Amino acid sequence: MKNKLTITINSFSYKRALPIDNSGNGGGFIFDCRAIHNPGRYDEYKCLTGKDKKVIEFLDKEPEMKIFLSHVYKLVEQSVNKYVYRNFSNLMVSFGCTGGQHRSVYSAENLAKHLSDNFDANIIIHHIEQEILNSERS
């Protein structure tokens, strides 16, 4: 019987550290979002994240984000297909940006939606920087 592939998708801040793969396999994809126009440079977006409507609208209009994600989708799909075929159990994909708040969160959310729309896999998403900030506030 085949196991369902679990795909863990992370957003993170390069100011802290690279995400750790807890599956025991090590590695996975790490995509750098810092070359994409940063909404965090504008006051109206500073307190928002890549899950907020205003940031989503901002990044949806960025041609470089569309190109970036189209390449990410192709690379990740190739691995997902191979991992499913080989009955692997885990794949990790991470997106980093300066603060782990806007571009990386947006990218992680979009990849999660793309994969859930196209594959029968368990999708786990962690917004590492946001989780750290939320735990510090509690």
Element (H, E) at 91: strand 90-97
Domain borders along the chain are 6-137
Are 3 and 90 within 8 A, CB to CB?
no
Instruction: Give the pLDDT confidence of 59-118 residue by residue, as tens digits.
Output: 999 999 999 999 999 999 999 999 999 999 999 999 999 999 999 999 999 999 999 999
Between the alpha carbon of residue 33 and those of residues 2, 14, 24, 64, 124, the distances in Å are: 34, 10, 26, 10, 20
Dump pLDDT digits (tens) for 19-38. 989 888 877 999 999 999 99
